[in-house]
């Protein structure tokens, strides 16, 4: 099995944590990015190392350009050239209709979920593109089914920010198709992660998950399996795809 170097943003919890752990289990070297939860990120690294893998925790705020560049530099210094990047870091806020959202909330939502994702995707393109000295690879962007559902009266800001990720996936996949880089997106549905608690509704995934065709919320590990497939050579002819992992929602 070929060893890969993978960077996962927002990797201290939820889908990012599950993805990092699964990458480590494959024998890949993993850069575990976090913004502030250093103990959680160190725990992810420990899980990977305990199973015989290689990992390093790397602090960076993805909405700050200099920190994103430093993040990519650090993972490459630690493990060598990148083979894959998972653009996962994101935030949400308490459920509200748009008319009640503050300008600060709107700014921060798009700053992290859209601008931050574009910064990370740009830096990944610069590092992976064969035309710029990279060895090709895979970029996986984490969107959300909110991008096509709209999340009315809850998170129309988050939904809009994630819709931009779908567009980025399509456009960037065409830019990089001849540069040896595949670009795809995953749209998770209702997944049991801490992001619901940070939005003020910790039981949201379980409550609404019961209304899906599967009758339950998803697990981070189920999303991670799809992400790791897209990172792997098994997905060698897959690019520009947007894959729903949502229990049929």
pLDDT tens digits for range 127-180? 999 999 999 999 999 999 999 999 999 999 999 999 999 999 999 999 999 999
What lies within 8 Å, CB to CB, of 5 at 6+ separation is: 28, 29, 31, 75, 76, 79, 80, 81, 82, 83, 84
Domains in the chain: how many in total?
1
- CA–CA separation, 85 and 231 (whole Å): 8
CATH number for position 196: 3.40.50.720
Residues 197-204, mean pLDDT to the nearest whole number:
62
Q: What is the pLDDT of residue 159?
A: 98
Q: How many Cα atoms occupy the beta-carbon half-sphere of 178 within 13 Å?
A: 1
Q: Residue 1: is its pLDDT beyond 60?
A: no
7 or 199, greater pLDDT: 7
Q: What is the pLDDT of residue 217?
A: 86
E strands in 91-164? 137-142
Q: Which domain holds residue 62?
A: 5-245
Q: What is the pLDDT of residue 211?
A: 78
Q: Give the β-pairing of 242-245 and 181-188.
A: parallel
| Model confidence band, residue 205 (pLDDT cutoffs 50, 70, 90) | low
pLDDT digits (tens, 9 = 90+) for 102-131: 999 999 999 999 999 999 999 999 999 999
- Which residues are annotated as catalytic? 158
Q: What is the pLDDT of residue 194?
A: 65
């Amino acid at each position: 099995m070929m060893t890969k170097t993978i960077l996962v943003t927002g990797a201290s919890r939820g889908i990012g944590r599950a993805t990092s752990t699964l990458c480590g289990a494959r024998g890949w070297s993993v850069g575990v990015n976090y913004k502030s939860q250093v103990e959680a990120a160190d725990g992810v690294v420990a899980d990977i190392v305990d199973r015989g893998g290689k990992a390093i925790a790397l602090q960076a705020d993805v909405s700050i350009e200099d920190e994103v560049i430093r993040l990519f530099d650090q993972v490459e210094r630690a493990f060598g050239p990148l083979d894959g990047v998972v653009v996962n870091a994101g935030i949400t806020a308490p459920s509200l209709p748009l008319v009640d959202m503050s300008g600060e909330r709107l700014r921060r939502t798009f700053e992290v979920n859209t601008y931050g994702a574009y910064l990370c995707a740009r830096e990944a393109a610069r590092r992976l593109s064969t035309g710029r000295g990279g060895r090709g690879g895979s970029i996986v962007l984490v969107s959300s089914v909110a991008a096509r559902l709209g999340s009315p009266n809850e998170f129309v800001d988050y939904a809009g920010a994630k819709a931009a990720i779908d567009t980025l996936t399509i456009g960037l996949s065409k830019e990089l198709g001849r540069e040896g880089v595949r670009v795809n997106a995953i749209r998770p549905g209702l997944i049991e992660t801490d992001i619901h608690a940070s939005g003020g509704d910790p039981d949201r995934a379980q409550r609404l998950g019961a209304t899906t065709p599967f009758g339950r919320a998803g697990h981070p590990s189920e999303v991670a399996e799809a992400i790791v497939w897209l990172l792997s050579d098994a997905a060698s002819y897959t690019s520009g795809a947007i894959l729903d992992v949502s229990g049929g929602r």
